[in-house]
């Protein structure tokens, strides 16, 4: 009757209905049966009348009628299924604050809802609050709490909860074990990861692919690639079939460990197993081969990626970046054309790489044209773009263009980095404007730039090349007073300056100061001193 009444179009609000039922019991002097009110609450929930459900719940509490735990759990579950997480949270808090009975299922519903909502901290908090309130929690609650703490990750707490589960005689699922092992690996805690794995196996749960893959990643991240590869061979022998993720982890490990031959073997093995390598794997292989200068292998994988249609902008960027650094700008341009022809849109990184290549070759017209093309596509130049162009113009001796590029960057609100400041200072020094560089350094410091050894070395070297050893020494003293430690380049520049001014005694004194600070002369420093003695015709002086 209640269900039909709630589903009817003319039924009154839940507040009125609850009040009528309470008044009826008082008028005819019989005890209110809590079942009637709980059936009513359940009817509102099933009908999806959540506003009436909340009002019914509140009226029941105010009338000292206890909502059943089962009804509360049905209510919470319905709210969560409708993705009304905030409303579910409000109901749960209302239950707890008003002292209404609830159980482990109530807690589990809220914890799961929070995890699905990406709020692991809140899910964990519900667990600890329920535990402190002496709610009888079950294995499901512990497993969900472990998932919550593993998302942080906090493997120590996860292991503690696992120990509690074991003491209570509960055998966690493979998923729970895998979750803890993954958290241990993320925190670099391979000792506990292996301990949990052993506990899993001893409890009768077999090693699965997820656990094995996590352990492989843990091994290679700890610098033990051989153990990762041995574990891979073992699971294959035991009948487990590696998947895309497993191969990706191992190939990445081989790439980082410099074992590119094994990485290539794994890629071949993967293909034979019918698994097409992802673009992520291909990009790792390309970067790895380029890093050890096996460019033919890199190009082979690059060509395969293009042919298969999986090459993305990162694939092309890897090749363009390497070719430009190697001075092979024409080849980089060919890769660029192929990228555009394949319909892959260049990114800011793509433009930066090719602009750098043109700048290194002194082709500032091409670099400038590419810069304009980038802006025309709607891409925004970043601080690295401007830093590359500023350096390129200075190298070409086109100082005004470099200064204009710096001003343009600042006008656009792009904050220079330390690299930009040092590039600018070094550029001014290279074109014989060291005094201007010193003035700019002081202005940069006022804006918050903290000079480093490179900043001072550029100015010291600039003054020495201009024959102003006095100013170079003044900058050296300022550098030391500011707490910046001189390096081999600093001393080599000063030794060179003293030798140029035929002051070999001060050069040797600087050499001694350098040695006292634990710095070893390099080939350049020795060459400068030898040249100084040769110019004095002192062919017998021993260092």
pTM of the model: 0.68
Using CA atoms, how far apart are residues 443 and 169, in angstroms rounded to an integer?
Answer: 70
Same domain, 300 and 318: no
Mean pLDDT of the chain, nearest integer = 88
Same domain, 274 and 337: no
In a domain, 113, yes or no: no
Question: What is the count of structural domains for the chain?
Answer: 2
Last residue of a domain, one of 289, 305, 321: 305
Q: Do the Cβ atoms of 401 and 393 come closer than 8 Å?
A: yes
Same domain, 316 and 301: no
Confidence of residue 58 (pLDDT cuts 50, 70, 90): confident
In a domain, 402, yes or no: yes
Confidence of residue 22 (pLDDT cuts 50, 70, 90): low
Same domain, 294 and 318: no
Residue pLDDT, tens place only, 199-223: 999 998 888 999 999 999 999 899 8
Q: Of all residues in the chain, what percent carry a pLDDT higher than 70?
A: 92
Using CA atoms, how far apart are residues 407 and 401, in angstroms rounded to an integer?
Answer: 10
The confidence score (pLDDT) of residue 543 equals 47
In a domain, 91, yes or no: no
Confidence of residue 139 (pLDDT cuts 50, 70, 90): very high
Same domain, 289 and 234: yes
Using CA atoms, how far apart are residues 430 and 319, in angstroms rounded to an integer?
Answer: 31
Structure tokens of 63?
Answer: 């009338």
Same domain, 386 and 333: yes
* Angle of CA points 526, 529, 535, to nearest 5°: 140
Containing domain of residue 320, as a range? 312-415
Cα dihedral: 314, 320, 322, 323 (round 10): 160
What SS3 class is residue 406? helix
Q: Average pLDDT of 382-389?
A: 95
DSSP per residue, 272-326: HTT-PPPHHHHHHHHHHHHHTT-HHHHHHHHHHHHHHT---HHHHHHHHHHHHHT
Same domain, 358 and 385: yes
Residue pLDDT, tens place only, 332-355: 999 999 999 999 999 999 999 999
In a domain, 76, yes or no: no
Same domain, 325 and 355: yes
Q: Is 337 exposed, middle or buried (0-12, 13-18, 19+ CB in 10 A)?
A: exposed
In a domain, 148, yes or no: no
Structure tokens of 221?
Answer: 């991240």
Q: How many CB atoms lie within 10 A of CB 320?
A: 29
Using CA atoms, how far apart are residues 277 and 528, in angstroms rounded to an integer?
Answer: 54
Confidence of residue 37 (pLDDT cuts 50, 70, 90): confident
Using CA atoms, how far apart are residues 462 and 453, in angstroms rounded to an integer?
Answer: 14
Residue pLDDT, tens place only, 96-138: 988 889 999 999 999 999 999 889 999 999 999 999 999 999 9
Using CA atoms, how far apart are residues 303 and 343, in angstroms rounded to an integer?
Answer: 16
Same domain, 298 and 329: no
- Nearest CA to 216 out of 254, 250, 264, 251 is that of 250
Residue pLDDT, tens place only, 268-322: 888 888 888 889 888 988 988 888 888 888 899 999 899 988 999 999 999 999 9
Which of 47-51, 279-283, 383-387, 507-511 is the most confident on average?
Answer: 383-387
Same domain, 256 and 296: yes
Residues 6+ apart with CB under 8 A from 334: none
Structure tokens of 450?
Answer: 């903290």
In a domain, 69, yes or no: no
Last residue of a domain, one of 305, 327, 344: 305
Length of the chain: 543
Q: Do the Cβ atoms of 177 and 211 come closer than 8 Å?
A: yes
Q: Of all residues in the chain, what percent carry a pLDDT higher than 90?
A: 52
Same domain, 285 and 318: no
In a domain, 529, yes or no: no
Q: Is 456 exposed, middle or buried (0-12, 13-18, 19+ CB in 10 A)?
A: buried
CATH number at residue 281: 1.25.40.10
Last residue of a domain, one of 385, 415, 445: 415
Same domain, 371 and 402: yes
Q: Do the Cβ atoms of 497 and 462 come closer than 8 Å?
A: no
CA 90 vs CA 44, 81, 84, 125, 354: distances in Å: 18, 15, 10, 15, 56
In a domain, 380, yes or no: yes
């Amino acid at each position: 009757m209640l269900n039909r009444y709630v589903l009817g179009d003319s039924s009154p609000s839940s507040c009125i209905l609850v009040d009528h039922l309470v008044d009826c019991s008082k008028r005819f002097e019989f005890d209110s049966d809590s079942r009637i009110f709980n059936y009513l609450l359940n009817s509102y929930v099933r009908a999806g009348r959540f506003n009436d459900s909340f009002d019914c719940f509140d009226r029941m509490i105010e009338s000292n009628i206890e909502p059943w735990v089962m009804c509360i759990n049905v209510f919470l579950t319905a709210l969560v299924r409708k993705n009304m997480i905030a409303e579910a949270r409000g109901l749960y808090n209302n239950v707890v604050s008003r002292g209404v009975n609830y159980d482990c299922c109530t807690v589990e519903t809220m914890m799961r809802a929070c995890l699905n909502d990406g709020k692991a901290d809140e899910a964990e908090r519900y667990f600890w609050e329920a535990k402190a309130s002496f709610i009888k929690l079950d294995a499901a609650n512990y497993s969900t709490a472990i998932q919550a703490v593993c998302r942080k990750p906090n493997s120590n707490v996860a292991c503690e909860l696992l120990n509690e589960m074991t003491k209570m005689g509960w055998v966690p699922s493979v998923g729970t074990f895998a979750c803890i092992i993954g958290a241990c690996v993320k925190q670099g805690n391979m000792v506990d990861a292996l301990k949990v794995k052993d506990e899993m196996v001893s409890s009768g749960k077999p090693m699965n692919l997820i656990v094995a893959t996590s352990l492989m990643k843990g091994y290679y991240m700890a610098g033990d690639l051989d153990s990762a590869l041995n574990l891979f061979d073992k699971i294959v022998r035991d009948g487990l079939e590696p998947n895309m993720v497993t191969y990706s982890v191992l190939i990445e490990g081989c790439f980082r460990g410099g074992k590119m031959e094994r990485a290539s073997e794994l890629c071949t093995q993967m293909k034979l197993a019918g698994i097409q390598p992802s673009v992520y794997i291909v990009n790792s292989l390309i970067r790895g081969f380029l890093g050890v200068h096996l460019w033919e292998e890199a190009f082979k994988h690059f060509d395969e990626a293009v042919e298969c249609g999986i090459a993305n902008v990162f694939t092309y960027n890897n090749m363009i970046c390497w070719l430009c650094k190697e001075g092979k700008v024409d080849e980089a341009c060919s890769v660029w054309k192929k990228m555009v022809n394949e319909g892959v849109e260049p990114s800011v990184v793509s433009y930066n790489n090719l602009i750098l290549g043109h700048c290194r070759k002194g082709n500032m017209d091409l670099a400038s044209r590419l810069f304009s093309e980038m802006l025309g596509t709607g891409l925004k130049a970043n601080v690295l773009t401007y830093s590359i162009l500023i350096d390129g113009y200075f190298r070409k001796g086109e100082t005004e263009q470099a200064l204009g590029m710096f001003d343009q960057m600042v006008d656009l609100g792009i904050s220079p980095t330390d690299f930009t400041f040092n590039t600018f200072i070094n550029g001014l020094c290279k074109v014989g404007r060291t005094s201007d560089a010193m003035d700019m350094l002081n202005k940069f410091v006022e804006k918050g730039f903290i000079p480093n050894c490179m900043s001072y070395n550029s100015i010291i070297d600039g003054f020495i090349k201009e024959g102003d050893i006095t100013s170079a020494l003044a900058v050296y003293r300022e550098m030391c007073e500011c707490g910046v430690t001189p390096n081999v380049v600093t001393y080599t520049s000063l030794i060179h300056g003293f030798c140029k001014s035929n002051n070999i005694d001060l050069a040797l004194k600087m050499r001694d100061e350098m040695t006292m600070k634990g710095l070893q002369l390099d080939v350049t420093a020795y060459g400068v001193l030898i040249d100084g003695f040769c110019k004095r015709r002192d062919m017998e002086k021993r260092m």
